[in-house]
Amino acid sequence: MKTKYLLIMLSALMILSAGCKKKKEEPVYYYAYADIKGVKQTFKTTGSFGKLCLQSGVCNTFYADPQITAVNSLMVGLPVTVKAGVTYTSDSSNTKIVYFDPSGRGYFSSWGDSLTITVTRWDGHGGTGSGTFSGKLRYSGTKSLVDSLYIKNGSFSSPIWFVVQK
């Protein structure tokens, strides 16, 4: 009788513990969209705008597939002093778009090109950064290879993780 009672209790505990397992949560993605070479593309990230950026003051990188980060990515870089309502150009300090196509070829915005990034929202640390962008990107390979692409109708939105120092 005790064995039967013990088996019933163990079975009940196993059923209850199976029902209480925490479900695997899906990551929260933030998006960037752009028409690149005439094709609408979607990029996503779980990251935030931050100061750990080699080519800009603050940046965030978005990926076509977050599981594959070596190709098909788009980095948006802005000055540390970024503000909402301002349009930054390729001539602005620390303003950059870098794109790696599906084959891994890198393209970047360059001084004097037609890049514009308009920041529509910038809440600061812990908030959201959003905006639009378009312009010309140059191939970052050999100088003898003349190649460029145009990005149109670009937009981005993601959290901000840094504090502006005044």
Which has more pLDDT, 41 or 11?
41
Q: What is the pLDDT of residues 67-93, one digit of tens each?
A: 888 889 999 999 988 999 999 998 888
Q: What is the pLDDT of residues 34-67, one digit of tens each?
A: 999 899 999 999 889 988 776 668 999 999 998 8
Instruction: Identify the pLDDT of residue 3.
Output: 58
Every domain of the chain and the residues it spans: 29-159
Counting Cβ atoms within 10 Å, is residue 50 exposed (0-12), middle (13-18) or buried (19+)? Answer: middle
* CA dihedral for 148, 153, 157, 161, sign (positive or negative): positive
- Decide: 91 and 115 in contact? Cβ < 8 Å: no
Instruction: Identify the pLDDT of residue 94.
Output: 85
Position 6 confidence tier, pLDDT thresholds 50, 70, 90: very low
